[in-house]
Amino acid sequence: MTERVAHFFDTKIEFLKGVGPQRAATLNKELKIFTFGDLIQYYPFRHEDRTKFHRIAELNENMTAAQLKGRIRGMTVVGEGHKRRLTVEFTDGTGVTEFVYFQSIDWYLKHLRDGGEYIAYGKPQRFGQRFNFSHPDLETLNPDNERGGYFQPIYNLTETLRKKYLDSRFLGKTMRILLEQAYPHIRETLPSSLVQRFRLMPKADAMWHIHIPDNEEALKQATRRLKFEELFYNQLRLLKNKVLQKRETPGQVFGSVELVRAFYQSHLPFGLTNAQKRVLREIHDDMKIGKQMNRLLQGDVGSGKTIVAFIAMLMAIGNGAQACIMAPTEILADQHYRGLKPFCDALGIQISLLTGSTTRKGRKIVIPGFADGTIHIAVGTHALLEDTVQFKNLGLCVIDEQHRFGVAQRAKMWAKNETIPPHILVMTATPIPRTLAMTLYGDLDLSIIDELPAGRKPIVTEHYFESKRLLVFGKIKEQIKLGRQVYVVYPLIEESEKMDYNNLMDGFESITRAFPEYHVSMVHGQMYPYEKDFEMQRFVKGETQIMVATTVIEVGVNVPNASVMLIESAERFGLSQLHQLRGRVGRGADQSYCYLLTGVKLSKETRIRLDTLCETNNGFDIADVDLKLRGPGDLAGTQQSGLMDLLLADLAKDGAVLKAAREAADAILQEDPDLVQPQNEPIRSHIDALRKEETNWSKIS
Ligand code: ADP
Ligand code: MG
C-alpha cells in the first residue's frame, strides 16, 4: 500500500492528461515542477471569485473585478502602429460594454467569434457613460462553465509560461485533473488527535480546497490546515533536534556558585533586576545538569545583558573552566573587555582580548594563555574562531549580537573543546518577534529580559523635517549646557563608500560650524582601529561633547553621559536599526532625547517607522511592527535559517497558528521523543517522505 502511494506522487508530470512531454519540459524548467507531488504542492497565491455573474447594468467603479456572461456583437481594429487596438462590443441584454485589446490583436481576431457567447472576467473601468474592460479574460461559454460557481486559482507564473499559454487557467484545469486522480492517494499527515483538537480540515480535502475551493470558508479552512501542518513540521524538526541534542550532548557541571556569590556580595555595582535574576537562574539550571546548554538571551537594548553574561562566565570559572565572549565588531569586543576588566581584577581573574588588530606580540602571549588555562576569560571577535585558538577547558561561550554570526560559527565554537563541548549562550542585539525567534532559534531555549533597570526614563523621540534643523540644534545646545554629550549619526549608503565618507565629512564640518564652542569627535568605518579608539576614548572621557559617527556605533557602545542623539536622514534606516541606534542613549539617569531628521518626501512605510519610534520605547513591540512592514525574509539572519522553506505560513500574520503548532509539537515530543508510538505513525511516515523529497532535491540542484 505504502509503496503504491509513494509511487503515485513520484509520477512524472508529463504523464498527466493534458500535459505531455513538451509542456512538462517547460514546467520542469520554469517552475521546477517534475512530479505529481511537485505540482500538487504548487499552491496558488490568490483566487478570483468566479462564482457569480454580474449584469452589465450593475457595473460600478468600486468593483475590483466583475464576471459577465454574454455575446460579442462587433469587433473593430482602430489606430496604427503601437496605437493599434482591438475593440470588442459585448452585451448581456442589460447593457453594452467594450473590451479593449492592445496586444495579441491578430490572435484574438483569429480566435474570437463575432456573435459567439463568452464569459468575461476583468476590472470594469468607467469610460463616459459606459464601462469598458482592458484585456479581460475570455472563455467560450460551454455547459461546464455556464452556471459559474468556481474560484479560479491564480498561480505565480513566468513570462515563458504565459507565452506558451501555461497560465493560471491551464494550471487550474490541470490541477483539477490531478486532484481527481490524487485524492484517494493523499494520506493524512497529522495524528487524528491533532486534527480533532484543532478542528483541522483533513489533508486530502485541504489539498483540494487550497486549489479549487467550493467557497470562501473552504479556502480559509484549507489554508489554515496547511499552514498548521507546515508550522507543525517546522517546529517539530527544531524541537526534535533540541531534544536529541539535549539527550546526547553532555555538558560540564557547574554546581558551585561561590565565585558568583563573592562577586555579588562585594563587587556588583547595582542590584540586578528581577528579570536578570530569573534569567541567571535559568542559565544556572541549564549548566548544572550535565547537559550542554544552548540558550538564547533576548533583551531590549540597555536591559543589561552584559552583566548577565559575565555572571554566567563566573559560574564556569568558579568551577575550574574558562569562558569566552565573542562580539561582532572590534569596538564592541574592546568595550566588553574594558567593562569587564575592573571586575576581573577585583576577583583575581585573568581576562584577555583577541581581535583582528591584536599585534603579533600580543597574540604570542594571549594564545598560549588560552591554551594553558592561565587566562580565564577570552574576549574577542571572529578572531576567536581561528583554528590556532585553543582552550585548556572552555566551559562557556557567549556569542553577543548573534545576528551577525551564522549558525555555522556557533557550531564552530562547539568544537573548541575536545571532550565536552562548551555551553552556548547567544545574545541578540535587539529583540526579535517571538514568532521569528521560535523559527529562527527554535532549537535553542529562550530567556527573556523583559525589564529595564530601575530609574530609566523612556527616551523622548521626536521627528523633524530638515527645515527645522536650527530648532533641533537649539535643543541640543541646551542639553550640552547641562553637561550632556551628543551623538550625531549618519547613514551608511552601501553602494558608495566614498559618498558615505563625503557625507560624513560635510556633516562633521557643519556640526563644528554650528557648535563652535564645543569639541567634536568622529568615528567611521575607514579609520584605523587605534584612531577609532582614540576618538572613542576622548568622547568616553568627556573631552569632546559631540560624537559624529556612522552606524559603527550601532551595537553595544555604552557612554551613560551621552543622552542626546541626532539621527541624520533617518528615513534611510530600518526600524529595528533606528531602535538599536537610539539605545545608545538612555543609559544614565538623565532624561534622554532622540531627534530624527528627515526630508519632507516620505513614503507611507517610512511614516509608520518614524511614528512607531516616536510612540514607543518597547523593542519587542517595535520588532513586531518591523516584521509586519518588511516580512521575515528581509530581517537579518533569516536567509540561512530554513525559514524560506515556508510556502504558506507568514510569520507576520500567523503567530497564533505558529504558537499552537509549536505547543502541539512540544507536547508530542514530551510524550514520545522518538515518535515510536502508533498514534504518531503519520508523523513518522511524513518525516520520511519529507526527507526523501529533500534528497531528491539535492540530486537535482
Ligand atoms: P544591553 O542589554 O543592551 O547589552 P548593557 O549590558 O550594555 O545592555 O547594559 C546597559 C547599562 O545598564 C550598562 O551601563 C550596565 O552597567 C547597566 N546595568 C545593567 N544592569 C543593571 C541594573 N540591574 N541596574 C542598573 N544598571 C544596570
Ligand atoms: Mg550589549
pLDDT per 10-residue tile (average), the chain, 701 residues = 60 94 96 94 92 91 91 92 91 94 90 93 90 91 81 93 91 95 94 95 97 93 96 92 86 95 91 96 96 92 92 97 92 89 96 94 96 96 92 94 64 77 89 81 88 88 95 96 94 64 84 94 83 86 92 67 94 89 85 95 94 94 88 54 68 88 94 93 89 62 41
Which residue among 274, 278, 306, 343 is best mutated to probe the pocket of ligand 1, counting the most ligand atoms within 8 A of its Cβ?
A: 306
Q: Any idea which ligand is nearest the CA of 298?
A: 1
In short, whether 558's Cβ falls inside 6 Å of ligand 1 is yes
Cα 404 to averaged position of ligand 2 atoms, centre (Å): 13
pLDDT at 641: 47
Cα 301 to averaged position of ligand 2 atoms, centre (Å): 7
Atom of ligand 1 nearest to the CA of 273: 23
Which residue among 587, 617, 620 is best mutated to probe the pocket of ligand 1, counting the most ligand atoms within 8 A of its Cβ?
A: 587
Asked if the domains 52-148 and 460-616 are classified in one and the same CATH topology, the answer is no
In short, whether 95's Cβ falls inside 6 Å of ligand 1 is no
CATH number of 460-616: 3.40.50.300
pLDDT at 447: 93
Q: Which residue's CA is minimally distant from atom 10 of ligand 1?
A: 302
Q: Which residue's CA is minimally distant from atom 17 of ligand 1?
A: 304
Q: Which residue's CA is minimally distant from atom 5 of ligand 1?
A: 304
Cα 601 to averaged position of ligand 2 atoms, centre (Å): 34
Q: Which residues pair with 85 in a beta bridge?
A: 78
Grid cell in block for residue 9: 506522487
Q: Any idea which ligand is nearest the CA of 310?
A: 1
In short, whether 431's Cβ falls inside 6 Å of ligand 1 is no
The CATH label, of 3.40.140.10, 2.40.50.140, 2.60.120.10, 3.40.50.1110, for the domain at 52-148 is 2.40.50.140
Cα 700 to averaged position of ligand 2 atoms, centre (Å): 43
- Cα distance between residue 619 and residue 299, in whole Å: 8
- Residue ranges covered by each domain of the chain: 52-148, 460-616
Atom of ligand 1 nearest to the CA of 305: 2
pLDDT at 2: 40
CA 599 to each of CA 449, 487, 550, 664: distance values in angstroms, whole numbers, following the listed order: 36, 20, 19, 49
φ, ψ dihedrals at 664, nearest 5°: -65, -45
Cα 561 to averaged position of ligand 1 atoms, centre (Å): 14
Q: Which residue's CA is minimally distant from atom 16 of ligand 1?
A: 304
| Dihedral Cα 229, 231, 237, 243, nearest 10 deg | -110
With H, G, I as helix, E, B as strand and everything else as coil, classify residue 218: helix
Cα 400 to averaged position of ligand 2 atoms, centre (Å): 7
In short, whether 299's Cβ falls inside 6 Å of ligand 1 is yes
Which residue from 92, 226, 210, 209 is spatially nearest to 146, judged by alpha carbons?
92
Q: Which residues contact 552 (CB under 8 A, 6 or more apart)?
A: 329, 331, 523, 524, 525, 532
pLDDT at 143: 86
In what helix (H) or strand (E) does residue 386 lie, and over which residues does it extend?
none
Q: Any idea which ligand is nearest the CA of 559?
A: 1
Cα 617 to averaged position of ligand 2 atoms, centre (Å): 17
Atom of ligand 1 nearest to the CA of 309: 6
Query: What is the per-residue DSSP string for 613-654?
Result: HHH---HHHHHHHHHHHH-GGGSTT-GGGTGGG-SS--TTT-
Largest CA distance in the chain: 97
pLDDT at 68: 95
Q: Any idea which ligand is nearest the CA of 329?
A: 2
In short, whether 272's Cβ falls inside 6 Å of ligand 1 is yes
Atom of ligand 1 nearest to the CA of 272: 23
Within 13 A of 425's CA, how many CA atoms are on the CB side? 29
pLDDT at 701: 41
- Is 484 exposed, middle or buried (CB count within 10 Å of its CB: 0-12, 13-18, 19+)? buried
Question: Are 400 and 312 within 8 A, CB to CB?
Answer: no
Question: Are 13 and 38 within 8 A, CB to CB?
Answer: yes
Atom of ligand 1 nearest to the CA of 587: 11
To the question of pTM greater than 0.85 for the whole model, the response is no
Q: Which residues contact 500 (CB under 8 A, 6 or more apart)?
A: 490, 491, 492, 493, 524, 550
Cα 519 to averaged position of ligand 1 atoms, centre (Å): 27
Query: What's CA 633's distance to the chain center, in Å?
Result: 5
Which residue from 262, 247, 371, 366 is spatially nearest to 314, judged by alpha carbons?
262
pLDDT at 331: 80
- Cα distance between residue 461 and residue 332, in whole Å: 25
Cα 398 to averaged position of ligand 1 atoms, centre (Å): 17
Question: Are 452 and 302 within 8 A, CB to CB?
Answer: yes
In short, whether 308's Cβ falls inside 6 Å of ligand 1 is no
Cα 560 to averaged position of ligand 1 atoms, centre (Å): 10
In short, whether 682's Cβ falls inside 6 Å of ligand 1 is no
In short, whether 301's Cβ falls inside 6 Å of ligand 1 is yes
| Dihedral Cα 52, 53, 56, 59, nearest 10 deg | 20
